[in-house]
Structure 1
Amino acid sequence: MKSALRIACSRSHLQQVRDFVRTYLSHRQLPEVAVNQIVLAIDEVVANFIIHANGEDETQFLDLKLDFKEKELNVEIADHGNTIYLPGPHQTPNLRDYIQQGRKGGMGMTLVNRLMDKVEFFTRGNHTVCHLSKHLA
């Protein structure tokens, strides 16, 4: 079953995204911990698109599509902004260094990569797309 949501690029829409994903997943027989992990991963990617790719420009928008079939959740987040947002190759940051430096932020994509089975960023035309997938037993 597929479902889609379009939002303007504003942090004020993040709760709407979380509610949309949680509602979509509530119709499946999934453990609450799996639902929470998926909601967190999608929230992080959407927040990155809103903040880093679009500078919270509410004239820009994101499309979120969810598709669940045969125990596989596929998520597509498409950016329709004016810039291409392709995070560099995933590198696991040194947590001890982060703590010693008192850094905040920069761990989100590490978390997403741990929570989801597959994380891909690519371009489609002049838009950036993130594809996330997770196998759910």
Structure 2
Amino acid sequence: MKSALRIACSRSHLQQVRDFVRTYLSSRQLPEITVNQVVLAVDEVVANFIIHANGEDETQFLDLKLQLDDHELNVEIADNGDTIFLPAPHQSPDLRDFIRQGRKGGMGMTLVNRLMDKVEFFTRGNHTVCHLSKHLA
């Protein structure tokens, strides 16, 4: 079953995204921990698109699609802005360095990579797409 949502690039829409994902997954009798993990991962990627790729430009929008087939959840987040946003390849940061430096950001994609089975960023035309997948037992 597939479901889709379009939002403007504003942080004010993040709660709508979280509610959308939670409602979609909760109706499938999944464990609450799994639902929370996916909600957190999607929220982080959407926030990155809104803030870093689109500068919170509300004239731009994101399309979010969720699809669950058998036991495989696929999430697609497509950016419709004019800027290509491809994060650097994932490398686990040194947590000791983060603590020593007092850094408060930069751990989001590490978390997403740990919560999801597969995380891919690619371009489609002049737009950026993030595909997340998770096997659900």
Q: Which residue of structure 1 lines up, in the alignment, with residue 16 of structure 2? A: 16
The separation in 1 between residues aligned to 2:36 and 2:120, in whole angstroms, is 21
Structure 1, residues 68-106: CA drift from partner, whole Å, max 9, x if none? Answer: 011000000000001000001101000010001100010
Identity %: 87
1:10 deviates by 0.2
Residue matched to 1:107: 107
CA distance in 2, matches of 1:28, 1:96: 39
Looking at structure 2, the residues matched to 82 and 69 of structure 1 have their Cα atoms a distance apart, in angstroms, of 32
RMSD of aligned C-alpha atoms? 0.4
Matched residue SS, 1:129: strand
Letter in 2 for 1:29: Q
- Cα distance per residue 1:96-137 (max 9 Å; x no partner): 100011000100000000000000000000000000000000
When normalised by structure 1's length, the TM-score is 0.99
SS in 2 for 1:75: strand
Question: Shift of residue 27 of structure 1?
Answer: 1.1
User: Unpaired segments of 5 or more residues in structure 2?
Assistant: none
Distance 1:58 1:120 in 2: 25
Following TM superposition, the consecutive aligned residue runs of length 4 or more in structure 1 with deviations greater than 4 angstroms are none
Aligned partner of 1:71 in structure 2 is 71
Secondary structure of the residue that 1:67 maps to in structure 2? Answer: strand
Cα distance in 2, alignment partners of residues 101 and 122 from structure 1: 31
For residues 25-64 of structure 1, give each alpha carbon's deviation from its aligned partner in whole angstroms, at most 9, with x where no partner exists: 0111211000000000000000000000000000000000
> How many pairs does the alignment contain?
137
TM score, norm. by length of structure 2: 0.99
